[in-house]
Amino acid sequence: MSKTNQSWGGRFTQSTDEFVKIFGASVFFDKILAPYDIQGSIAHATMLCEAGLLTEDEKTQIVDGLTNILEEITVDKFEWSVDLEDVHMNIEARLVAMIGDAGKKLHTGRSRNDQVATDIRLYLREQLNDINDEIKRLQIALLDLAEKEINTILPGFTHLQAAQPVSFGHHMMAYFEMLSRDAERLIDCRKRLNSMPLGSAALAGTTYPIERTRTAELLGFERICNNSLDGVSDRDFAIEFLSTASIIMMHLSRFSEELILWSSAQFDFIELPDSFCTGSSIMPQKKNPDVPELVRGKTGRVYGNLTSMLTIMKSQPLAYNKDNQEDKEPLFDTVDTLKACLRVFADMVPTIQTKRDNMYNSTKKGYTTATDLADYLVKKGLPFRDAHEVVGLSVAYGIKMQKDLSELSLEALQEFDPRIENDVFDVLSLEGSLRARDHFGGTAPNQVKQAIKTARNNLK
């Protein structure tokens, strides 16, 4: 009978079931690794030649052949075969067809196990760079918006109840800080990812006199994996990335939720442009914030990919197992989803139009300067707990009279504590409340301005 696969079929006497062949193939999705597979193979061939395991002519044939194959793939002229299972064997078979026996020598000193582990790291290393670029682009958009809205006042919330006045610019800078931590996590993830498994072979290393440090140098790896068993079976770097991606998506989802709320008729704090919204098929008045809603929804998808990868790895004995074929789709999907969400946010944030009057008027509701009045009394010598009670009584009176604290007369306020004087109205104004929080990390406009300046310098 015909062999199932020329790379491993010698031991078999029966061909693979046709459905099993399709069920077990990964070429449908792992062909995305082709450029990285070729990059790794060129470095491997170069090392084999330097180690005396290939002649210079054989190396040249291999490198030229792989370069031509990459061109075929790039222009979509490469014929992928499910019979060859995966990207690695498709490329190797094409190379042998192009250059003959020299192509058969390329696999000397390696296995598909360490080959795919290397390809995934090369792929993800490049993607991390692209993702960090998108994060930076979004951060710049946030800085620009924050700078424009330093003096814009909106209610800050706790428990989704109006709490204290804050600068809209300060609010935007909170998301800048989240993204800064995200970028740091990606950089940290990249450090552990940048170890080369190639040379681990199937699981135990190889008997050939390879020089792993040379291959690592050619591929730009900072170090080589210390243990061959761990080298082929480790997917911690992918799990770490998926975890980091989940945190990034959580931040984008929180931002999405606020944009959705703020753009609703009930809040009416911002206007999103038509280009980032859609309408309703039956309600002509509707303008739906589809982009933030989609990002919020896609967050669950990325969380699911993290759970999937953790589950794939949780019960695997050393070393490589076929389960690991399932590591790629969650990884590829997360990379694509995360990049798309960051890109659309970086495009959308500069288009956000604030409705400053609506924000200001909303901040005047809910007694958002009540804490300022308590602080005022403390500075007049009243213990904070007593001041808290006085202000609580003042707020209760304001609710009864349907007036904000700043709208109560001095005489009415003095009924609750005689320490209150005419200067209290500077404290009770929204602008005064913002200015009063004039310390590092506070919402005072000059502090926000300095925070933006520092952030721009740090991004450089």
At residue 285, the pLDDT reads 80
What distance in Å separates the CA atoms of residue 252 and residue 345, rounded to the nearest whole number? 8
Stretch 138-157: mean pLDDT: 98
Tokens matching residue 66: 């792989």
**Per-residue pLDDT tens for 47-94?**
999 999 999 999 999 999 999 999 999 999 999 999 999 999 999 999
What distance in Å separates the CA atoms of residue 88 and residue 35, rounded to the nearest whole number? 11
Q: Is 196 helix (H, G, I), strand (E, B) or coil?
A: strand
Least confident of 161-165, 224-228, 272-276, 451-455: 272-276
113-205+223-360 CATH choice from 1.20.200.10, 3.40.50.150, 3.30.1490.20, 3.50.50.60: 1.20.200.10
Q: How confident is the model at residue 411 (pLDDT cuts 50, 70, 90)?
A: very high
Stretch 321-334: mean pLDDT: 95
At residue 402, the pLDDT reads 94
Least confident of 142-146, 336-340, 364-368, 444-448: 364-368
Q: pTM for the full model?
A: 0.92
**CATH class in words for 370-428:** mainly alpha
Q: Which residue has the tokens 């604290």?
A: 405
Report the sign of the C-alpha dihedral through residues 257, 262, 263, 265, in that order: positive
Catalytic residue among 44, 228, 280, 429: 280
**CATH class in words for 16-108:** mainly alpha
At residue 3, the pLDDT reads 46
Active-site residue, 159 included: yes
**Per-residue pLDDT tens for 200-216?**
999 999 999 999 999 99
Report the sign of the C-alpha dihedral through residues 75, 4, 40, 114, in that order: positive
| Mean pLDDT over the full length of the chain | 94
What distance in Å separates the CA atoms of residue 427 and residue 444, rounded to the nearest whole number? 13
| pLDDT > 70? residue 448 | yes
Strand pairing report for 195-196 and 223-224: parallel
Active-site residue, 253 included: no
| pLDDT > 80? residue 398 | yes
| pLDDT > 50? residue 1 | no
At residue 214, the pLDDT reads 98
Q: Is 52 buried (19+), middle (13-18) or exposed (0-12) by CB count in 10 A?
A: exposed
Stretch 435-459: mean pLDDT: 97
Tell me the β-bridge partners of 164.
Answer: 156
Catalytic residue among 88, 107, 159, 170: 159
Provide the residue ranges of all domains of the chain, joining segments of one domain with +.
16-108, 113-205+223-360, 370-428
| pLDDT > 90? residue 11 | no
**Per-residue pLDDT tens for 28-56?**
999 999 999 999 999 999 999 999 999 99
Of 313, 305, 366, which Cα lies nearest the Cα of 333? 305
Stretch 13-31: mean pLDDT: 81
Q: How confident is the model at residue 278 (pLDDT cuts 50, 70, 90)?
A: confident
Q: How confident is the model at residue 340 (pLDDT cuts 50, 70, 90)?
A: very high
Q: How confident is the model at residue 447 (pLDDT cuts 50, 70, 90)?
A: very high
At residue 2, the pLDDT reads 42
Q: Which residue has the tokens 């913002």?
A: 434
| pLDDT > 90? residue 460 | no
Q: What is the DSSP string of 105-155?
A: TTTTT--HHHHHHHHHHHHHHHHHHHHHHHHHHHHHHHHHHHHHTTT-EEE
| pLDDT > 60? residue 244 | yes
Q: Is 212 helix (H, G, I), strand (E, B) or coil?
A: helix
Of 144, 190, 137, 136, which Cα lies nearest the Cα of 169? 144
Which residue type sits at 89?
A: M
**Per-residue pLDDT tens for 95-120?**
999 999 999 999 999 999 999 999 99
Q: Which residue has the tokens 């296995």?
A: 111
